[in-house]
Structure 1
Amino acid sequence: MRVVMFGYQTWGHRTLQALLDSEHDVVMVVTHPKSEHAYEKIWSDSVADLATEHNVPVVIRNRPDDDELFARLQEAEPDIIVANNWRTWIPPRIFGLPRYGTLNVHDSLLPKYAGFSPIIWALINGESEVGVTAHMMDDTLDAGDIVLQQAVPVGPTDTATDLFHKTVDLIAPVTVGALDRIAAGETDFTPQDRSQASFFHKRAEEDIRIDWNWSAEELERLVRAQSAPYPAAFTYHRGRRLEILAATVSEGRYGGTPGRIFYREGNGVVIVAGADARTGRNHGLAITRVRTEDGEEMFATDYFTRMGGYLTGRR
């Protein structure tokens, strides 16, 4: 089939590479300009560079809603559009242009975790698996019929970086497998159960600020979800920003006020956590590695030279 690819960053790059390695003919690529957004500078393999290396025409757009792009798409005569990590709305006259429509590839197990940063949100929420879904695009974002879906388990110590590498390796088999179904004339795809749908926004600074009213289990997952190269989860100590690079759930249960710097346990320093910490039924967050405001990384036991005082959400 003649394919036009819409995509950006490493997800789009992997999709384009899979298409180039397949029996399908990539006739045009549409991608975004480079961005300075913190999350868009991560996993930023260039779709444009890969297309150029293979002599595929490239169009750069923030939004795909202009008449010039529409005319170029008509001239390209695609049988299908394949999209992955396209960051803005694709209008119906675009996604409905090819005779087979548009296949969107999304890094979650739809219908859950539509939208942005699905792996990070899924890890924070304690999901047991993550994955990649190829579905037909319709008027509702990430809501069309599922053509192919594959999952991988979330391990007890997996970080968002680990899960990125696990799921990005699914892009090629899911994309090409879905195209093979479409090319074979199949149309009996799986409608999404919209009662199970959830939609998430982009990550931002406020989303990585630690709230000590969260349980230790939730905070431990937040720290893993904000693994390098993502911006680290942070709190404040004595008015200075402190990034939490590694932590575990404490073995003991600790009572008191959320955020209290309380006790050395093993290789960590336990911080009281949970909105109901006063009951004494909660585990704490045992911080093991931190990074200070001036960029110095150290063991928490070296940073917290004495117990007492509080970690807070604001300066």
Structure 2
Amino acid sequence: MRVAMFGYQTWGHRTLQALLDSGHEIVLVLTHPASEHAYEKIWDDSVAELAEKHDIPVLLRNRPDDEEILAAVREARPDIIVANNWRTWLPPELFDLPPHGTLNIHDSLLPSYAGFSPLIWALVNGEERVGVTAHRMNGELDAGDILIQRAVPVGPEDTATDLFHRTVDLIAPVVRESLDLIASGADTGRWRPQDRGRASFFHKRSLEDSRIDWTWPAERLERLVRAQSDPYPNAYAFHRGERLRIVSAAVSEGRYGGTPGRIFIREGDGVVIVAGPDAHSGQGRGLLVRRVRTEDGTELAATDYFRTMGGYLTSRPDWPRPEAF
């Protein structure tokens, strides 16, 4: 088949490489220019460079809704568009243009976690599995009929980085199998509509989404720390007005009560921070902080950073005031 490819970052790069290895003819590539967004500078293998290396026509756009793009796709005459990590909505005059429409590759088990940063959100929410979905694009974002899904389990110590590597390896087999089914006509009867009653949609993450809210239960905060693993922007709080990144943490063995955010007690190889919506009851666990990173990039064991107990890790730099420590 003649394939046009829309994609960006490592997800798009892996998709393009899978297409190159598939034997199908790649007639056009559309990708985004390089970005300074914190999350878009991570996993940033260049789709444009890979296309140029193989002498494939490539266009760079932030949005695909101009006449030049539509004309280029028409001229390329693709049988199908394959998209992965294209960051804006495609208009129907584009996604319905090829005879086989547009196959979108999304890194979640749709209909859950449509939208952006699905691995991070899924890990924060304690999902037991994550994966990749190949579905037909329609007028709603990540809502079209599903052809193939592949899943991997989430382990109790997995980070978002672990899950990225595990799911990005699913892209090539999902792309190849999907295109083989479509090219042979064996996809007939295999497409299944999404259960929209189970759908969830998530926005792009920003640095604000890494900020720790100490009223969250410790179990959820521990998952947030794992979800914001290097090279992602780490989960953070403020200590005496300065940002402090939490690099490694666990749920405390003991139950601790008091005010959320209180730097309370050493336990094992870490320091317990009181956490949870019912922290005053003393029935919940705390967040056992093991390693921290200061604003200048220095990483320390929490037991070395917190030399004395007392005071607070806060969600904002101006509360409580330093004199309250």
TM-score of the superposed pair, with normalisation by structure 1: 0.99
**What residue number does 1:280 align with?**
282
**Is 1:268 the equivalent of 2:261?**
no
**What residue number does 2:323 align with?**
none
**What residue number does 1:197 align with?**
199
Partners of 1:294 and 1:257 in 2: how far apart? 29
RMSD: 0.6
Once the two structures are TM-superposed, the CA of residue 292 in structure 1 deviates from its matched residue by 1.1
Structure 1 residues 1-315: aligned runs within 5 Å:
1-185=1-185, 186-188=187-189, 189-315=191-317
Q: Secondary structure at the match of 1:285?
A: strand
Partners of 1:7 and 1:231 in 2: how far apart? 23
- Residue deviations 1:243-262, cap 9 Å, x none? 00000000111011100100
**What residue number does 2:322 align with?**
none
Once the two structures are TM-superposed, the CA of residue 264 in structure 1 deviates from its matched residue by 0.3
Partners of 1:11 and 1:32 in 2: how far apart? 13
Aligned length: 315
Partners of 1:191 and 1:144 in 2: how far apart? 7
Q: Secondary structure at the match of 2:62?
A: coil
Once the two structures are TM-superposed, the CA of residue 303 in structure 1 deviates from its matched residue by 0.3
Partners of 1:169 and 1:14 in 2: how far apart? 8
TM-score of the superposed pair, with normalisation by structure 2: 0.96
Q: Secondary structure at the match of 2:134?
A: strand
Partners of 2:295 and 2:63 in 1: how far apart? 37
Partners of 2:296 and 2:81 in 1: how far apart? 47
- Residue deviations 1:79-103, cap 9 Å, x none? 0000000001100000000000000
Q: Secondary structure at the match of 1:151?
A: strand
Once the two structures are TM-superposed, the CA of residue 183 in structure 1 deviates from its matched residue by 1.1
Partners of 1:163 and 1:206 in 2: how far apart? 22
User: How high is the sequence identity, in percent, across the aligned residues?
Assistant: 72
Once the two structures are TM-superposed, the CA of residue 68 in structure 1 deviates from its matched residue by 1.1
Counterpart of 2:188 in structure 1: which amino acid? T
Partners of 1:312 and 1:232 in 2: how far apart? 15
Counterpart of 1:308 in structure 2: which amino acid? G
Once the two structures are TM-superposed, the CA of residue 71 in structure 1 deviates from its matched residue by 0.9
Once the two structures are TM-superposed, the CA of residue 294 in structure 1 deviates from its matched residue by 2.1
Counterpart of 2:293 in structure 1: which amino acid? R
Counterpart of 1:72 in structure 2: which amino acid? A
Question: Unaligned regions of 5+ residues in structure 1, if any?
Answer: none
Once the two structures are TM-superposed, the CA of residue 148 in structure 1 deviates from its matched residue by 0.5
Counterpart of 1:59 in structure 2: which amino acid? L
Partners of 2:215 and 2:302 in 1: how far apart? 21
Partners of 1:66 and 1:295 in 2: how far apart? 43
Once the two structures are TM-superposed, the CA of residue 187 in structure 1 deviates from its matched residue by 2.9
Q: Secondary structure at the match of 2:254?
A: strand
- Residue deviations 1:160-219, cap 9 Å, x none? 000000000000011111111111212320110000000000001210100000000000
Q: Secondary structure at the match of 1:11?
A: helix
Partners of 2:59 and 2:275 in 1: how far apart? 50
Deviates more, 1:182-191 or 1:148-157: 182-191
Partners of 1:166 and 1:274 in 2: how far apart? 31
- Residue deviations 1:209-232, cap 9 Å, x none? 000000000000000000000000
- 4+ runs deviating over 3 angstroms: none
Q: Secondary structure at the match of 2:310?
A: coil
Question: Unaligned regions of 5+ residues in structure 2, if any?
Answer: 318-325
Partners of 2:156 and 2:222 in 1: how far apart? 11
Partners of 2:75 and 2:297 in 1: how far apart? 52
Once the two structures are TM-superposed, the CA of residue 69 in structure 1 deviates from its matched residue by 1.1
Counterpart of 1:118 in structure 2: which amino acid? P
